[in-house]
Amino acid sequence: MTDPSEAQLTNRLARGDARAFEGLYLLFNERVRLAAWQMCRRADWVDDVVNEAWRRAYEARAEFDQGRPFLVWVVGILRNCCREHARSRQRLSPNDNDPLHAIADTDPAKLAAQADLLAALDACIRALPLPDQVIVRKRFFEGKPLRVVAQEVGIAESTLRDGRLPDLYDRLRACLAARGLDISSVFSAQAGSETQWILGERADREP
CB 75 within 8 A of CB 35: yes
Per-residue pLDDT at 25 exceeds 90: yes
Give the whole-angstrom CA distance, residue 199 versus residue 159: 18
Contact 99, 86 (CB under 8 A): yes
Mean pLDDT of 16-25: 91
Sequence letter at residue 158:
S
| Residue 73 exposure: Cα atoms within 13 Å on the Cβ side | 20
Segment 147-202, tens digit of pLDDT: 888 999 999 988 988 889 889 988 988 998 998 887 776 666 555 433 444 433 43
Position 206 scores a pLDDT of 38
CA 38/CA 175 separation, integer angstroms: 23
Rounded-to-integer distance, Cα 79 and Cα 71, Å: 12
Angle at 155 between CA 154 and CA 159, to 5 degrees: 175
Range list of H helices, 127-182? 130-136, 146-153, 157-159, 165-178
Q: What integer pLDDT is reported at residue 192 of this predicted model?
A: 46
From the list 77, 69, 143, 68, the residue with the least C-alpha distance to 106 is: 77
pLDDT single digits (tens) 56-98: 999 999 999 888 899 999 999 998 898 888 887 765 454 555 5
Q: Do 131 and 167 contact (CB within 8 A), yes or no?
A: no
pTM: 0.64
Q: Does pLDDT of 112 surpass 60?
A: yes
Res. 30: pLDDT tops 80: yes
- Average pLDDT taken over every residue of the chain: 79
pLDDT at 202: 39
CA–CA gap between residue 185 and residue 9 (Å, rounded): 29
Distance (Å, whole) CA 177 – CA 191: 20
Query: Phi and psi of 133, rounded to 5°?
Result: -60, -45
Q: Which domains does the chain have, with CATH numbers?
A: 1-113 (1.10.1740.10), 127-207 (no CATH)
**What pLDDT, on the 0 to 100 scale, is given for residue 108?**
76
Tell me: pLDDT of 205 over 90.
no
